[in-house]
Amino acid sequence: MTPFELLGLVGVFLAARIVLTLQPVKAGSQGKSTNFAREYLDPFIYAGIAAFLLITFVARTYYIPSGSMIPTLQIGDVLLVNKFEYRFRKPAEGDVIVFPPPIPTPDDFIKRLIGRPGDTLRIDGGKVFVNGKALNEPYIADPPAYKLQIRNYGIYVDAGGGYAPLDPSVANVPPRRFWSAPDRIPAHCYFMMGDNRNDSEDSHIWGFAQDSGTFDAGPLEGKPAHFTGHAFLIFWPFNHAKILWR
């Protein structure tokens, strides 16, 4: 059920509640019937309002349309995404996050957070190294078939033809003034990767995601940036339901 469908359902319950409230009571038996209806409708009304507020301000559902997060997420999975959590804490390494990417698209993306502001990061020999330490990644489909380095105020990718920097005109790689060091991820920037490393349009293609401010470079330069929320639960289909641990 979408938020709009839920809003319609809440509207029906509210309308029924108003009708019952305004309906005149002509006899004692009718009054008892009306009170009985109110008694049993009220819990549904309050539950509907609570669910609407929950989906609007605290959580939302998200449908997985592609295989970029296989094997963690399968096509057709439906997730519950916490929209409130990042108001109280910074995103953590390993979080599975829904966010608008810095490229023109009507849809949010979902990827795993690999590198945070201030981190060094490189990919070599099929392993991801953050701050010089190789990550233990039991969740990936296959090791990445490319190499990558964050250096010289840029993201350099080698897919077999030698290292080349991502073009700041098509990828979100901020200008030098936003970097605290030439080899460390800039403030508010995050390196995101799909678990299906070799079939994922992620930070090795379009640069950094951002948790706030505006995109610093690329085709959406100057547009507001944010994280939609932290995906923490697969609740459909039931045979694949699970909590998404880091």
Return the number of other C-beta atoms located less than 10 Å from residue 218's C-beta. Answer: 23
Contact of 178 with 187, CB cutoff 8 Å: yes
Closest CA to 144 of 124, 117, 162: 124
- The backbone torsions φ and ψ at residue 78, rounded to the nearest 5 degrees and listed phi first, read -120, 125
Paired strand residues for 148: 123, 157
Of 83, 111, 147, 200, catalytic:
111
- Torsion angle, alpha carbons of 228, 83, 95, 214, to 10: 30
Q: Do β-strands 109-115 and 133-134 pair in parallel, antiparallel, or remain unpaired?
A: unpaired
Residue 26 among the catalytic residues = no
Contact 192, 171 (CB under 8 A): no
CA distances from 207 to 129, 192, 201, 204 (A): 17, 9, 10, 6
Strand partners, 157: 148, 164
In a 3-state reduction of DSSP, which class is residue 40? Answer: helix
68 is catalytic: yes
Sign of CA dihedral 233, 80, 191, 179: negative
Question: Which of 29, 32, 33, 68 is flagged as catalytic?
Answer: 68
Active site positions, annotated: 68, 111
